[in-house]
Amino acid sequence: MRSTIKYILYALAVSPLIVIDSLFFPYISGKNILIRVAVGVAWILFASYLFYAKKFRQEMHDKLKRVLKNPVGLFTTVFMGLLIISTIFAQDVYRAFFGDVERAEGLLNMLFFFGFFVLTALLFERKEWMRFFQISLGVGAYMFLDAFIQFANGVVRPSSTTGNPIYLGEFFLFTILAGVLVFLDTKKEDSVIVSHGWRSFWKIFAAVMVPVSVYGIFISETRGVIVGAAVGLAAVLAYMAIKGKSISIGKTTLQKVSLWAIAVAVVLGGAFYATKHDTFWQKIPGFNRIAAFTFHDPSTETRLISLGVSLHAINPSENSMKEFLIGWGPENFSVAYNAYYNPKYFEYEQLWFDRAHDKLMDVLVMNGVVGLAAYLGIWGSFVWLIFKRKGFSVAMAALLFFGVSYFVQNLTVFDSIVTYPVFFAFLAYLIYCSSIESISNFEFRISKIKEEVQNVVSDSKFVNRNSKLYIVYDAVIGALAIFFAVALIAWTWVPFAQMRDYLNTIQSPGGVQSITNTKGAGVFTPYNYIQELTRMHFLSTLTGQSGTMPQNQWLPAMQVGIAEMADLVAREPWNPRYYITLGQGYEALAQKGGFPQYYKNAEDAYRKAMALSPKRQDTRYLLAYDLALDNQIPAALSLMQETISFDPKVYAAHYYYGLILVTSGEQNYTQGLSELDTALSLNNGAYLNDNTMAQAYYFLLRYYYDKHDAVHSMDAAEGLRKVRPDKAAGIDQIEAFIKAGTWKTINFQ
């Protein structure tokens, strides 16, 4: 049974390779399913064996005490406990517990990751860890080959099976660690690999994978990972300088070698900084992005803005002490971010932030200062365990490199379904290294003998050991096993089967009709955390098909879609995007369905979205547009003027204000064109581009051409010519029709 559990846990080393195209977020969902199934089944088997075998139970009791006494194990457990508390008191408790499909976090998934951490800390010995690292090296090799093929085929930043080049770079940090540890093990006489031929293979393979992983990091062009690796290398050199005084290398010492290496690194770093604009660096993957870095590029600006928003969100003078101490709750960063949204963000980005892109800020906002203290305690314990060991160790240096690199790169990003197994495996291996396996071979053999003696103690003596503490251990283990069993069925199999069935149905001929006829039975019920995706997708799909589906099919389907979306916002009222999707559905019914009374429903939905994020510009654009369609022109214009006042440099605000002005009456036409010109002059490519401006002028051209308005049609045609000179021939023809007054029919498609 013990071996079976271990083999099941190896699946998490393979999880980065899993991609399931038939689900939403294929690069996330498949990995999530595998991790949940592996950890859930492992826990059920573990708990069953624990209660069946007394000797095994006693052994696990002793190991569990050892894990909890280890500072890494203690702080990790405390952090998980605080995560539970912050979930209970979260703004959006439902999402705090279940998370979403895109991130695969929330308390639910974090408990699965923690379950993996506990089982590996209890069950994995040297042999199991080496196998886990060997599998990781094999996975890394496949991912590198896949990424290299993508890179060779012109993909600028390949991501392989991770779906994101950042995650790929992060995983290669782990394969560097795995390569060093496997290489060190194959050099030992008591290597876990008995066969000499296989030892040679793994030794060579591990040695090769280290530089291959370094190259993989550079072709992923992930600046945070590259900087993290540089800081990790600096930490290793510092470790060598501290611990290497007594280690001889030829006629010198490791300490002196490290000091010289630090000096060389400083010189090379200075040379790179001085020549970073040289074309030479632009030709080297990774270095090109590092060389182009400034504090004013859009990516950096948005992170700095997010930092400010995060600090506002936990400021006790602006919130209650609850947010300051235990945070807003897991997966509630977006709730806080929307409430304290900084309009300047729209100068650079239009996406909805659900993470701070800084792990420390994520933890601070979602888990408060107490949660952040526990999280930093994990990392402080890691450093303490490395440096408390006497003498220099290559294995400790490798662990230091990975830990520092991972921590530093996470200051510009966040954990993911790819990196969480790596992170928790790293923590569990740290506990292993600082436990019985890290002491001398002689002491190790003595301790093993003691374990054997303990394993043959009498039943009566075992009963004496069955104190209240052990009863608590067993109760928690049993409860976790029951939890994982429920999670596998109710919160994994049912939701993901529902998602699969929905996508298969909606993508099949007559799929919309089928869902309409059954009123979503089976795909919209029972309600679970997947429903935000299926319902939003269904209504958005129908809204986009308003002009292509037959009216007698579209209207009944829209009624089902809106009903399901209205039910979603009633259950989960914290997400502005839910209200926006609902509002767009109502707007489509009003505009395309011929039911103008629904403009008021759309307005109500947009106002609720705006209440959750008062200064978010795009929500205001939608509301203003809806007001204009409902002939509430003064209210629409007033709303847009206020929106522009938040940040006059935002291109899009002038763009939408101009559109409303030029279509609201002759008295506003000149000012509207001026606003469009302002939008064009502010264009920096970060939000709207020339193609979007072309759409605006195209809309105006069609609008006024249909009205046979020669003056305004010519203005729109000339505006279109400015941003799309490549369409000059077609524009010339339209202008000829306008000048001749023939107004021939034009297929505006």
Domain boundaries, the chain: 2-434, 496-740
Tokens encoding 185: 């093990």
- Residues with Cβ within 8 Å of residue 346, at least 6 apart in sequence: 617, 618, 647, 650, 652, 653, 687
Euclidean distance between CA atoms 311 and 356, whole angstroms: 11
DSSP state of 491: I
pLDDT of residue 623: 97
In the block, tokens 């403009």 appear at 599
Q: What is the pLDDT of residue 460?
A: 40
DSSP character string of 663-678: TS-HHHHHHHHHHHHH
Dihedral (CA of 453, 458, 462, 464) sign: negative
581 burial (CB, 10 Å; 0-12 / 13-18 / 19+) is buried
Alpha-carbon gap, residue 277 to 266, rounded angstroms: 19
**pLDDT, position 749:** 53
| Cis status of the peptide bond prior to 550, with omega within 30 of 0 | no
pLDDT at res. 400: 97
**Residue 619 in contact with residue 606, Cβ under 8 Å?**
yes
Mind listing the pLDDT tens digit for each residue in 168-203?
999 999 999 999 999 998 877 677 776 777 888 999
The pTM score is 0.89
Cα distance between residue 564 and residue 538, in whole Å: 9
Report helix, strand or coil for 252: strand
d(C-alpha 430, C-alpha 471), whole Å: 27
How many Å apart are CA 142 and CA 700, to the nearest integer? 52
Confidence at residue 508, expressed as pLDDT on a 0 to 100 scale: 92
* CB-based contact 605:619 (threshold 8 Å): no
> CA-to-CA distance for 383 and 403, rounded, in angstroms?
9
Q: What is the pLDDT of residue 458?
A: 40
- Dihedral sign of CA atoms 705, 706, 712, 716 in order: negative
Please, which residues bridge with residue 252 across strands? Answer: 249
pLDDT of 462 reads 42
Class for the domain spanning 496-740: mainly alpha
Does residue 253 sit in helix, strand or coil?
A: strand
10-residue stretch averages of pLDDT, the chain, 749 residues long: 91 97 95 97 93 87 90 97 97 96 95 97 94 97 97 93 95 97 84 77 95 96 93 94 84 87 89 82 79 77 90 93 96 96 89 91 97 98 92 93 97 94 97 68 48 46 56 85 94 95 93 92 93 96 86 93 97 96 95 90 97 95 94 95 94 90 85 86 56 76 85 87 84 89 75
Q: Are 563 and 593 in contact (CB under 8 A)?
A: no
For tokens 């392989």, the residue is: 160
